[in-house]
A = this chain, B = another copy of it.
Amino acid sequence: MAADITESVPVSPWWGWAPPTPGGALSDGTLAVLAERLGVDAAAARRPGVLDTPPAEPPGESDLTPPALSGEALAALAAAVPAGAVAQDPATRVAHAAGKHTPDLLWQRAGTPLALPDAVVRPGTRAEIPAVLAACVAHGVAVVPFGGGSSVVGGVTPLAGDHHAVIALDLTGLSALLDLNERDRTATFEAGVRGPELERALAERGYTLGHIPQSHQQATLGGYAATRSAGQASTGYGAIAELITAIRLETPTGPLALGGHAPASAAGPDLRHVVIGSEGTLGVITEMTVAITRKPTAKAYGAWAFPSFEAGAEAIRALAQDGAAGDAPDVCRLSDEEETELTLAQSGGRPVELLRRWLRSRGIETPALLLGVWEGSGSEPKDRFKRARRILRAHGAVSATSAPAAAWDRGRFSSPRLRDELLTIGVLVDTLETAATWTNLAATHEAVATAIRGALASGPGGDAPSAVQGHVSHLYRTGASLYYTFIARAEADPIAQYERVKRAANEAIVASGATITHHHAVGTEHAAQLPAEIGEQGVRILRAVKRELDPTGIMNPGKLI
């Protein structure tokens, strides 16, 4: 059975993605690949230090900087929310100290978060938020809106900027379904609703949002909007920016409510797109209305191999450009040769051996694997699958049975858990992404993968083995996304190792003329590259809007711009 998108998981622990999987999350196949490719003996690799098994208890009072929040500010915040909604205990502060990119987890595991919120405020109703913001303006306190805390770009790092203190504004108490309009096929939620909870509320009425990023089990709807997120099925359902019909932002200078009058409008610039992607720098997204779809009752899976990543890219380009509407799958993933090899090696066994033999018989030695999932009802997914298959075959696709696509669907939320276990055995792993036009796609893919490999090879330990794998995960008429996973034995300073990789990748992306981020957002991680993307004039526009809505600059300092 495919992963259930209504299946909730506990809120992330402070040191990782999810509580440990009983029996461990690493399969025998994964362990074998680690041993063979990276020379990592998992059993022997559990070693002390920053990569040690996370401690059962977070740092205590004495390990942390005391909260900087002034007495007046604390009193004003306490007056803005019900009793108990302002917390300063170490566990709550540490749980809101970081997002989930690998440096965040390493800092957290070491008990040395980059920064700590001076308090965590958890409103119980939307009506409390203006008072919280007013208190922060009055007392010079920075505000970091905090949803699922799943940012992988430093988007929730509690930086105080020019202010005397910083709070994390935990929005997960605001998770109500406010309205479900079946005639309009829209649903209005409070912004703090997490992915599975949102899908459960819709599923009870027979609907889905269809926006399922890998972070789905932790992330919130508000976070999706703030980061201009794209789900794994965005090829079919559209990215979050296409799904939001109305959005409400509470700013330090008052509310901003946009959209909802009509499905489309020519009444000036579409300011929803200023809020979407604003990453908490303009205000707090408190509620939004999203377009919903009937929950699919049927799926078709397809997997094909191509002689190379480039050949596969040509085939999916034809599908996106010359296929009829709906031919492209809802989920479309084309792995490069390295990712395909690692996937097959981890699966292993007789079926994989037969598949390799079959592909060799068709002249494919180093396959690039394409997975597609078509969703809908009745015969529609299968019909669309057949139309797509015709185009793909005409471009050299060789069937690889549907099994790899179904397997992907089952395991689609597992990777972030694997990272926790890999870190524990001294393996550094993380992901990064971009998107490019079709013209630039192959060159960008090559440049970025080469940059990551080069950065990993240039460590103090010399040319240690690593794996750098990539795939296309979002398909458009004019181009596609590129997503990379890099895996290597952790160096003595794994954060420096990570930063070396990230710097090299960012440089390669900018030099390729691609976008610095397709769906992870900017945060602190990509802020230096934003001017290359939108120009100095674009940055000036963002600053002008921020000055207008947040004149004292309390909203999420140090992010985006």
Contacts and interface: CB of A to CB of B under 8 A. Distances in A.
Interface in A219-257: 227-230, 236, 239, 241, 245, 251, 253-257
A317 B270 contact: no
A380 B536 CA distance: 46
A439 interface: yes
Interface string A470-487: 000010111111000000
A317 to B, nearest CB: 7
A548 interface: yes
Interface string A274-288: 111111000000000
Nearest to A436: B262
A68 interface: no
Nearest to A273: B273
A515 B266 CA distance: 8
Contacts of A94: none
Interface stretch (A74-82, A320-328, A347-355, A413-421): A320-328
Contact of A548 (B256, B276, B476, B540): B540
A181 interface: yes
A322 B273 CA distance: 27
B517 A265 contact: yes
Given A264-B239, A266-B230, A274 B317 contact: no
Contacts of A270: 228, 241, 273, 276-277
Contact of A185 (B257, B383, B477): B477
A437 B545 contact: no
A262 B434 contact: yes
A357 interface: no
A505 interface: no
Contact of A438 (B183, B513, B522, B529): B183
Give the residue among A258, A268, A481, A541 with the most B Cβ atoms within 10 A: A268
A294 B236 CA distance: 21
A137 to B, nearest CB: 16
B185 A262 contact: no
A219 B253 CA distance: 40
A120 interface: no
A262 B479 contact: yes
Given A253-B537, A477-B291, A545-B541, A266 B227 contact: yes
Contacts of A480: 263
A97 to B, nearest CB: 23
Interface in A457-516: 474, 476-481, 513-516
B538 A271 contact: yes
B438 A184 contact: yes
Contacts of A236: 325
Contacts of A121: none
A276 B265 contact: no
A521 interface: yes
B477 A534 contact: no
A384 B517 CA distance: 36
Interface string A433-459: 011111100000000000000000000
Given A273-B273, A276-B269, A326-B325, A264 B537 contact: no
Contacts of A540: 548-549
Q: Which 9 A-B pairs have the closest CB atoms?
A: A325-B326, A263-B476, A262-B435, A273-B273, A263-B479, A262-B515, A544-B548, A265-B515, A228-B266
Interface of A: 181, 183-186, 227-230, 236, 239, 241, 245, 251, 253-258, 260-279, 291, 294, 317, 321-322, 324-326, 376, 380, 383-384, 434-439, 474, 476-481, 513-522, 526, 529-530, 533-538, 540-545, 547-549, 560-561
15 contacts: A183-B317, A185-B478, A228-B270, A258-B534, A262-B436, A263-B476, A264-B435, A265-B515, A266-B520, A266-B522, A267-B521, A268-B522, A268-B530, A271-B541, A541-B545
Given A261-B436, A265-B515, A266-B277, 13 more contacts: A228-B266, A251-B537, A256-B535, A256-B541, A261-B435, A261-B514, A262-B518, A263-B479, A266-B517, A270-B273, A273-B273, A324-B380, A541-B549
